[in-house]
């Protein structure tokens, strides 16, 4: 039996070996998908006819980058150093330049299609009797993109003879937002500290910034705002601009334009005015002077992103002005310099009255921005999160995409996994983004998929496109998880070409990242493609969004945090039923914000797809889905299914050992193993919570029944005391034990009553970030295992964020054996223990 086969048969019982692994991985991930790993001899031979020489048709920073990249890539992959010549040699050659430049060499050349903007062409042709490979762009930036594409073909084992590839991006806006603070922290960043800032200064060493720009250029990204949308008021200060200019200089060789976030109140708060009213001419002058200076220092500055009247950020509502007024006053100051304003539609009231059945946060963006359609200047782009709430594991597409026909728009996607496992869970988001982009808003009864709307095609808009919140950090692998880089790669690829399938994107990424072995490519792709469905299954099914702690970390399970507060992420889970009624007929009326055709899908429960049912409708627990199964049984089943899928990722990954370097292999193994353990935490917490609320038992008898589980509070305790865990569903039975304050070590002991045999013992404990407790497991006084609680998880409390487990394998147990866990607390972490679970050995 293959290892994978074995794993698939035993996925319900998970191997959990998480002790000691953190998530600030070192390792070899820094080059991400630009590794240019040496190809095997056979593959390398197939590039035997590649010219030995390259010529660059002009001198510019971007063309120099392109040529440098070409030489670096070919040397890395094929072990050959291309000769760089200044003029066309009498031999076969790779030509790098723009179409205009090449036509000066060969006036008979006409590309088969018109190249504009960032488009490029890879073409094999003959010149002066020699074979020539052309990497041509409409602009220098297009040439750079073409060069990366050429090298990507080689890395993926594709042919580079008889080339005739034309590529043009789907949209002109392909930007990244970073949420970096000047103190060096990154809001919702899980890959380490800021690559840009430290201690309120731009870092002296910007090597990582240049490396980042190179990665971004390789996937066609042409702009990046470096500062948090919760904007720092001093970002345009005179002493800071020269520092920003250094970031712009680090981006420039790769064609990435710099932007920053500004706050609309800056004219008053730091600008010396007594107002920031956007209609006051002094305010307009202030912005004009600021940006005139910005462009003096950074002539290719791209523009700014604005978050206003949202989550505590001041906005135009202070003066009863509109979002258009606020956007336009800034846009007019940028206009002479060709800069743009991204004005975020993420504007909502987070003090909603949860008792009001008509209140609905989902309505906010459309209610506020739809009446302003046509009022924004032509260098304002309204930036819209893909769903009406906030980057949840599933939401319907924001109705605002169909609600703006005379306004430029961009879609905001979240690469950093704030609500989707924070990179401790592998969740490949491209399939989700793709569903949103393909969703047809059916505006005026026509075919208006979101990918066409944001590209400006549907309503003939000149600007528009894609913004991804990436939040990379200084960690070697940028995002804190090697597999998470597929999201950054996939964002760029989709922004370039939203017709690409998730399968094609992950195949590309996997080959570039881990090599071309077909078995390994297939298995890594399977993990990635199954990861969003798995995560959704254990964290937020049937349109419930993500049932995480929305009041704190946004990480572990805490479903009750959705309710009874002003944030409006309510799921209305009561004892008789659950779901938000957003219908026109009986609910909040949110459905009415969609076109008539889309309303027909969402207005009735029977037409609504099962996976969004509870986003739109309040139904009884026994409501039958299209699958024929009740809502409550589906909740139970999906949570078991999701946890089992996560367990299978560990098995799939193990099966590619030897195809991946040891560092990345073991780092990803640790990450997936932890994920599998946390998926069990999610499964039990959500199922227990709904069981208590609904009172409906699981038809399959699993929920609340845990064979082999011994609650820590039921063990014989020395030094440990019993506590109530908050929220209760994060711990089995709602309780855990913690080592009393005065104790240096504590023990919990139980007698084994089962049959003699080989067993595994799972110890479920809490790994807080305010100490590194040690655990030791004894069998009849013999030390059989020890591990530290050393993960980096986002809490100082025993709860759903910190719950995890450790497996001790291969124990020979006999009836009457004494199993004892010793916990040695450290600082605020009092060696908290939830339960142990004893399973017959699986192998
Ligand atoms: C930058 C969510 C996040 C915030 C973020 C906000 C936004 O609410 O939790 O951290 O703030 O979205 O997108 O502005």
pLDDT in tens, 314-337: 999 999 999 999 999 999 999 999
- pLDDT tens, position by position, 27-39: 356 899 999 999 9
Q: Which two tokens stand for residue 405?
A: 């026909």
Q: Which two tokens stand for residue 353?
A: 């009255």
Q: Using the predicted structure, report yes or no on whether residue 308 has a pLDDT greater than 80.
A: yes
Bridging pattern class, strands 720-724 and 735-739: antiparallel
Report how far residue 599's alpha carbon sits from residue 608's, in angstroms, rounded to the nearest whole number: 10
CB-CB contact of 66 with 144 (8 Å): yes
Position in ligand 1 atom list of the atom nearest CA 469 = 13
- pLDDT tens, position by position, 662-683: 999 999 999 999 999 999 999 9
- pLDDT tens, position by position, 720-737: 999 999 999 999 999 999
Place of tokens 């790769």: 254
Report how far residue 806's alpha carbon sits from residue 787's, in angstroms, rounded to the nearest whole number: 8
Instruction: Give the mutation target among 227, 311, 417 for probing the ligand 1 site: most ligand atoms within 8 A of CB.
Output: 311
In this prediction, residue 685 has a pLDDT band, given cuts at 50, 70 and 90, of very high
Report how far residue 767's alpha carbon sits from residue 765's, in angstroms, rounded to the nearest whole number: 7
Report how far residue 485's alpha carbon sits from residue 182's, in angstroms, rounded to the nearest whole number: 24
| Number of other CB atoms surrounding residue 3 within 10 Å | 12
Ligand 1, atom 13: closest residue by C-alpha: 346
Give the residues across from 758 on adjacent strands.
812
Position in ligand 1 atom list of the atom nearest CA 307 = 14
Q: Which two tokens stand for residue 753?
A: 């009553």
What's the pLDDT at 20? 31
Ligand 1, atom 8: closest residue by C-alpha: 390
Ligand 1, atom 11: closest residue by C-alpha: 230
Please calculate the CA angle 356-361-366 and round it to the nearest 5 degrees. Answer: 125
Q: Which two tokens stand for residue 209?
A: 């910034």
Exposure class string for 676-704: b at 16+ Cβ within 10 A, else e: bbbbbbbbbbbbbbbbebbebebeeebbe
Report how far residue 508's alpha carbon sits from residue 152's, in angstroms, rounded to the nearest whole number: 8
What is the average per-residue pLDDT within 104-113?
92
What's the pLDDT at 4? 33
Report how far residue 678's alpha carbon sits from residue 541's, in angstroms, rounded to the nearest whole number: 17
State the distance from the centre of ligand 1 to the C-alpha of 312, rounded, in angstroms.
Answer: 11
Place of tokens 């013992």: 761
**Side by side, which strands form the sheet with 716-718?**
716-718, 746-751, 818-824, 774-779, 782-788
Q: Taking each helix axis from N to C terminus, what angle separates 323-334 and 281-297, rounded to the nearest 10 degrees?
A: 40
3-state class (DSSP) for residue 22: coil
Ligand 1, atom 14: closest residue by C-alpha: 229
State the distance from the centre of ligand 1 to the C-alpha of 11, rounded, in angstroms.
Answer: 36
Percent of the chain with pLDDT strictly greater than 90: 95
Position in ligand 1 atom list of the atom nearest CA 230 = 1
What's the pLDDT at 24? 31
Bridging pattern class, strands 120-127 and 83-85: unpaired
What's the pLDDT at 26? 33
State the distance from the centre of ligand 1 to the C-alpha of 6, rounded, in angstroms.
Answer: 42
Bridging pattern class, strands 782-788 and 774-779: antiparallel
Q: What stretches of 355-430 adopt beta strand conformation (E)? A: 380-385, 408-414
Active-site residue list: 311, 390, 418
Percent of the chain with pLDDT strictly greater than 70: 96
State the distance from the centre of ligand 1 to the C-alpha of 235, rounded, in angstroms.
Answer: 19
Question: In sequence order, what are the residues at sequence separation of 6 or more whose Cβ sits closer than 8 angstroms to the Cβ of residue 127?
Answer: 88, 93, 95, 105, 106
- pLDDT tens, position by position, 21-73: 333 333 356 899 999 999 999 999 999 999 999 999 999 999 999 999 999 99
H runs (alpha helix) in 53-122: 61-78, 99-105
- pLDDT tens, position by position, 173-219: 999 999 999 999 999 999 999 999 999 999 999 999 999 999 999 99
Cis preceding-peptide flag for 727 (omega within 30 of 0): yes
- pLDDT tens, position by position, 522-571: 999 999 999 999 999 999 999 999 999 999 999 999 999 999 999 999 99
Ligand 1, atom 3: closest residue by C-alpha: 188
State the distance from the centre of ligand 1 to the C-alpha of 310, rounded, in angstroms.
Answer: 9
State the distance from the centre of ligand 1 to the C-alpha of 346, rounded, in angstroms.
Answer: 9
Question: In sequence order, what are the residues at sequence separation of 6 or more whose Cβ sits closer than 8 angstroms to the Cβ of residue 289?
Answer: none
CB-CB contact of 419 with 391 (8 Å): yes
Question: In sequence order, what are the residues at sequence separation of 6 or more whose Cβ sits closer than 8 angstroms to the Cβ of residue 336?
Answer: none
Instruction: Give the mutation target among 190, 364, 387, 390 for probing the ligand 1 site: most ligand atoms within 8 A of CB.
Output: 390
What's the pLDDT at 30? 85
Ligand 1, atom 2: closest residue by C-alpha: 390
Bridging pattern class, strands 223-225 and 173-177: parallel
What is the average per-residue pLDDT within 785-805?
98
Q: Using the predicted structure, report yes or no on whether residue 633 has a pLDDT greater than 80.
A: yes
Q: Using the predicted structure, report yes or no on whether residue 635 has a pLDDT greater than 50.
A: yes
Q: Counting Cβ atoms within 10 Å, is residue 781 exposed (0-12), middle (13-18) or buried (19+)?
A: exposed
Q: What stretches of 82-241 adopt beta strand conformation (E)? A: 83-85, 93-98, 120-127, 130-137, 164-167, 173-177, 197-198, 201-202, 223-225
Please calculate the CA angle 689-691-693 and round it to the nearest 5 degrees. Answer: 70
Place of tokens 């917490």: 685
In this prediction, residue 437 has a pLDDT band, given cuts at 50, 70 and 90, of very high
CB pairs under 8 A, 24+ apart, for 157-164? 157/39, 157/43, 157/46, 157/511, 157/516, 159/46, 160/47, 160/50, 160/122, 160/124, 160/133, 161/49, 161/124, 162/124, 163/122, 163/123, 163/124, 163/133, 163/134, 164/112, 164/122, 164/123, 164/124
| Number of other CB atoms surrounding residue 574 within 10 Å | 14
**Of the candidates 448, 367, 453, 440, the residue with the CA atom closest to the CA atom of residue 410:** 453
- DSSP annotation of 593 reads G
What's the pLDDT at 220? 98
3-state SS track over 624-639? ECCCCCEHHHHHHHHH
Q: Using the predicted structure, report yes or no on whether residue 163 has a pLDDT greater than 60.
A: yes
- Tell me the CA distances in angstroms from 797 to 181, 329, 738, 783, 806, one per residue in order: 26, 46, 11, 28, 18
What is the average per-residue pLDDT within 574-588?
98
**Of the candidates 165, 218, 193, 208, the residue with the CA atom closest to the CA atom of residue 35:** 218
Position in ligand 1 atom list of the atom nearest CA 385 = 13
Q: What is the DSSP string of 224-247?
A: EE-S-SS--TTTT-TTTHHHHHHH
Exposure class string for 444-459: b at 16+ Cβ within 10 A, else e: eeeebbbbbbbbbebb
What is the average per-residue pLDDT within 424-431?
98
What's the pLDDT at 843? 62
State the distance from the centre of ligand 1 to the C-alpha of 177, rounded, in angstroms.
Answer: 12
Instruction: Give the mutation target among 177, 188, 190, 261 for probing the ligand 1 site: most ligand atoms within 8 A of CB.
Output: 188
3-state SS track over 536-555? HHHHCHHHCCCCECCCCCCC
Position in ligand 1 atom list of the atom nearest CA 188 = 10
Position in ligand 1 atom list of the atom nearest CA 187 = 10
Q: Which two tokens stand for residue 121?
A: 């062409």
Position in ligand 1 atom list of the atom nearest CA 310 = 14
Ligand 1, atom 12: closest residue by C-alpha: 390
State the distance from the centre of ligand 1 to the C-alpha of 628, rounded, in angstroms.
Answer: 38
What's the pLDDT at 18? 33
Report how far residue 802's alpha carbon sits from residue 121's, in angstroms, rounded to the nearest whole number: 51
Furthest-apart CA atoms within the chain: distance in Å? 91
Q: What is the DSSP string of 440-505?
A: B--GGGS--BHHHHHTTTTTT-SSEEEEEE----SSTTSSSSGGGHHHHHHHHHHHH-TTS-HHHH
CB-CB contact of 361 with 367 (8 Å): no
State the Cα torsion 419-421-422-425 to the nearest 10°. -160
Task: For the chain, give the number of residues.
Answer: 843
State the distance from the centre of ligand 1 to the C-alpha of 757, rounded, in angstroms.
Answer: 52
State the distance from the centre of ligand 1 to the C-alpha of 433, rounded, in angstroms.
Answer: 19
What's the pLDDT at 138? 95
Q: Using the predicted structure, report yes or no on whether residue 106 has a pLDDT greater than 90.
A: yes
Question: In sequence order, what are the residues at sequence separation of 6 or more whose Cβ sits closer than 8 angstroms to the Cβ of residue 205?
Answer: none
Report how far residue 323's alpha carbon sits from residue 204's, in angstroms, rounded to the nearest whole number: 37
CB-CB contact of 186 with 208 (8 Å): no
3-state class (DSSP) for residue 571: coil
Report phi then psi at 526, rounded to 5. Answer: -65, -45
- Tell me the CA distances in angstroms from 610 to 532, 543, 605, 625, 630, one per residue in order: 16, 8, 9, 6, 11
What is the average per-residue pLDDT within 430-452?
98
State the distance from the centre of ligand 1 to the C-alpha of 553, rounded, in angstroms.
Answer: 12
In this prediction, residue 99 has a pLDDT band, given cuts at 50, 70 and 90, of very high
Ligand 1 residue neighbourhood (C-beta within 6 Å): 179, 187-188, 229-230, 307, 311, 346, 390, 418
State the distance from the centre of ligand 1 to the C-alpha of 266, rounded, in angstroms.
Answer: 20
Q: Which two tokens stand for residue 801?
A: 């964020």
Report how far residue 437's alpha carbon sits from residue 455's, in angstroms, rounded to the nearest whole number: 11
């Amino acid at each position: 039996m293959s290892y994978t086969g074995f794993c698939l048969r035993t996925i319900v019982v998970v191997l959990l070996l998480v002790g000691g692994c953190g998530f600030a991985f070192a390792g070899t991930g820094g080059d991400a998908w630009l590794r240019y790993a040496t190809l095997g001899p056979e593959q390398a031979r197939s590039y035997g006819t590649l010219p030995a020489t390259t010529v660059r048709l002009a001198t510019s920073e971007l063309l120099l980058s392109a040529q440098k990249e070409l030489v670096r890539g070919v040397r890395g992959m094929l072990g050959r150093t291309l000769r760089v010549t200044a003029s066309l040699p009498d031999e076969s050659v790779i030509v790098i330049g723009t179409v205009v430049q090449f036509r000066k060499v060969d006036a008979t050349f006409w590309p088969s299609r018109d190249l504009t903007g960032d488009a490029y062409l890879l073409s094999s042709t003959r010149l002066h009797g020699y074979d020539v490979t052309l990497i041509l762009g409409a602009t220098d930036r297009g040439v750079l993109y073409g060069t990366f594409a050429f090298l990507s073909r080689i890395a993926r084992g594709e042919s580079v003879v008889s080339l005739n590839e034309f590529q043009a991006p789907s949209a002109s806006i392909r930007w990244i937002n970073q949420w970096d603070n000047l103190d060096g922290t990154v809001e919702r960043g899980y890959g380490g500290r800021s690559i840009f800032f430290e201690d309120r200064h731009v870092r002296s060493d910007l090597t990582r910034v240049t490396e980042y720009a190179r990665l971004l250029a390789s996937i066609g990204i042409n702009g990046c705002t470096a500062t948090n949308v919760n904007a720092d008021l001093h970002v345009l200060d005179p002493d800071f601009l020269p520092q920003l200019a250094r970031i712009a200089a680090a981006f420039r060789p790769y064609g990435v334009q710099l932007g920053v976030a500004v706050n609309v109140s800056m004219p008053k708060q730091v600008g010396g005015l007594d107002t920031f009213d956007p209609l006051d001419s002094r305010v307009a002058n202030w912005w004009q002077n600021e940006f005139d200076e910005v462009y003096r220092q950074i002539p290719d500055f791209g523009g700014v992103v604005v978050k206003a009247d949202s989550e505590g950020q001041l906005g135009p509502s202070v003066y009863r002005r509109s979002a258009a007024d606020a956007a336009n006053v800034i846009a007019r100051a940028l206009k002479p310099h060709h800069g743009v304003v991204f004005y975020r539609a993420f504007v909502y009231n987070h003090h909603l009255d949860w008792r009001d059945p008509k209140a609905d946060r989902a309505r906010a963006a459309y209610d506020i921005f739809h009446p302003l359609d046509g009022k924004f200047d032509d260098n304002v782009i309204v930036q819209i999160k893909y769903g009406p709430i906030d980057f949840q594991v599933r939401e319907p597409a924001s109705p605002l995409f169909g609600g703006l026909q005379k306004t430029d728009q961009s879609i905001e996607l979240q690469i950093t996994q704030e609500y989707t496992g924070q990179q401790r869970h592998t969740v490949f988001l491209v399939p989700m983004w793709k569903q949103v982009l393909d969703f047809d808003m059916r505006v005026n009864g026509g075919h208006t998929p979101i990918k066409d709307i944001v590209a400006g095609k549907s309503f003939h808009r000149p600007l528009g496109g894609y913004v991804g919140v990436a939040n990379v950090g200084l960690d070697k692998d940028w995002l804190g998880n090697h597999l998470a880089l597929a999201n950054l790669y996939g964002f760029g690829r989709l922004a370039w070409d939203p017709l690409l399938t998730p399968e094609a994107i992950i195949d590309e990424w996997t080959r570039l990242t881990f090599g071309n072995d077909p078995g390994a490519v297939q298995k890594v792709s399977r993990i990635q493609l199954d990861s969003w469905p798995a995560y959704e299954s254990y964290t937020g099914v049937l349109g419930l969004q993500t049932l995480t702690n929305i009041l704190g970390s946004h990480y572990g399970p805490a479903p009750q945090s959705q309710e009874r507060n002003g944030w409006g992420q309510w799921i209305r889970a009561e004892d008789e039923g659950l779901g938000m009624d957003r219908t026109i007929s009986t609910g909040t009326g949110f459905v009415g914000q969609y076109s008539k055709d889309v309303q027909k899908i969402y207005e009735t429960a029977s037409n609504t797809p099962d996976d969004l049912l509870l986003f739109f409708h309040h139904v009884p627990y026994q409501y039958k889905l299209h699958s024929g199964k009740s809502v409550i049984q589906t909740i139970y089943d999906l949570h078991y299914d999701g946890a089992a899928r996560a367990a299978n990722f560990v098995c799939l990954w193990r099966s590619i050992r030897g195809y991946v370097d040891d560092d990345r292999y073991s780092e990803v193994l640790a990450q997936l193993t932890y994920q599998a353990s946390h998926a069990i935490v999610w499964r039990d917490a959500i199922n227990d919570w709904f069981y208590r609320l609904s009172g409906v038992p699981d038809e399959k008898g699993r929920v609340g029944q845990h064979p082999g589980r011994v609650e820590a509070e039921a063990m014989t305790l020395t030094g440990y005391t019993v506590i109530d865990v908050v929220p209760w569903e994060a711990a089995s039975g709602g309780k855990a034990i913690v080592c009393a304050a005065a104790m240096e070590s504590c023990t919990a002991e139980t007698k084994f009553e089962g049959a003699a045999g080989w067993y595994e013992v799972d110890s479920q404990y809490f790994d807080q970030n305010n100490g590194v407790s040690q655990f030791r497991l004894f069998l009849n006084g013999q030390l059989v295992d020890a591990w530290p609680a050393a993960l980096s998880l986002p809490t100082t409390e025993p709860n759903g964020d910190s719950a995890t487990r450790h497996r001790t394998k291969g124990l020979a147990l006999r009836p009457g054996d004494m199993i004892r866990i010793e916990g040695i607390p450290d600082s605020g972490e009092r060696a908290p223990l939830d339960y142990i679970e004893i399973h017959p050995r699986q192998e």
